[in-house]
């Protein structure tokens, strides 16, 4: 067998790449779990006031995104780290919301009903075509629309503390950004990348709105 002088360096490069990928996935998981735990504590303490209907739509989108991604031929547990962890985190947040509301009636706005309709259409289209990317992309659209009630409520400022914690959404954006880098390195999984990219952009938007809210609240306090 001819000697391949590059075999050693190639193996080391592959090992380093795999190690970096696993480390990045671990950081994403830890950040997501930390943010979810903090958010649940804020919910129980009454420091955050999200809509439970919106989070139920998130749960539907997270689960169906996960199912659609793993239905594709080329999938990876590591590449789907954020999606997998989001399933656990969103489920925990919904449980905390049910605990906080203690049997309160769940009402869906027009936008939320539209999200559910689009989700249903997407699920039917995915089941008929058996095309994984149709389902995956469609459910990203559903989850994007599900953010609209939160974005709208953050835009309509009123005196007081921001209803959404800046640090939680900021850390979510960082975790999602790491997820984007994770998905475009190595195997270049661009389908999996859509999930963290969508999450990163929307989390950053909420962070910007939360900062705007806090600034307007501080300005209102010092206004004569």
The number of angstroms, rounded, from the C-alpha of 185 to the middle of its chain's C-alpha atoms is: 20
Range of the domain at 75: 23-222
Residue 6 in this model has a pLDDT that exceeds 60: no
What is the pTM for the complete model shown? 0.76
87 part of a folded domain: yes
Do the domain assignments include residue 40? yes
Say how many domains are in the chain: 1
How far is residue 153's CA from residue 180's CA, in Å, rounded to a whole number? 28
Cβ burial of 164 (10 Å; 0-12, 13-18, 19+) is: buried
Alpha-carbon distance of 224 to 202, in angstroms, equals: 35
Neighbours of 12 (CB within 10 A): 10
Torsions phi, psi for 52 (to 5 deg): -70, -30
For 111-166, write each residue's pLDDT tens digit: 778 777 877 887 787 778 777 777 778 778 888 887 887 888 888 888 888 888 88
Domain-located, residue 31? yes
- The structure tokens listed for 90 are 């969103």
Task: Report d(CA 66, CA 189) in Å as an integer.
Answer: 14
Residue 35 covered by a domain: yes
* pLDDT at residue number 1: 47
In a domain, 42, yes or no: yes
89 and 35 in contact (C-beta within 8 Å)?
Answer: yes
Residue 12 lies in a domain: no
Residue 7 resides in a domain: no
| Domain-located, residue 173 | yes
């Amino acid at each position: 067998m001819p000697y391949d002088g590059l075999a050693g360096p190639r193996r080391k490069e592959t090992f380093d790449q795999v190690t970096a990928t696993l480390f990045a996935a671990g950081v994403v998981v830890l950040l997501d779990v930390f943010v979810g735990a903090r958010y649940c504590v804020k919910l129980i303490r009454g420091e955050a006031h999200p809509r439970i209907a919106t989070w139920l739509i998130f749960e539907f989108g997270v689960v169906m995104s996960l199912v659609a991604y793993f239905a594709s031929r080329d999938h990876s547990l590591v590449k789907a780290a954020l999606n997998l962890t989001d399933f656990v985190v969103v489920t925990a947040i919904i449980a905390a919301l049910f605990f906080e509301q203690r049997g309160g009636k769940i009402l869906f706005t027009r936008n939320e009903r539209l999200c559910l309709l689009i989700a249903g259409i997407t699920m039917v289209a995915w089941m008929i075509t058996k095309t994984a990317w149709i389902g995956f992309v469609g459910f990203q659209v559903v989850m994007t629309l599900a953010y609209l009630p939160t974005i709208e409520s953050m835009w309509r400022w009123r005196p007081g503390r921001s209803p959404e914690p800046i640090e939680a959404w900021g850390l979510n954006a960082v975790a999602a950004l790491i997820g984007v880098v994770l998905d475009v390195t190595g195997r270049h999984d661009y389908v999996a990348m859509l999930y963290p990219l969508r999450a990163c952009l929307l989390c950053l938007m909420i962070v910007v709105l939360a900062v705007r809210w806090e600034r307007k609240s501080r300005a209102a306090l010092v206004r004569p």
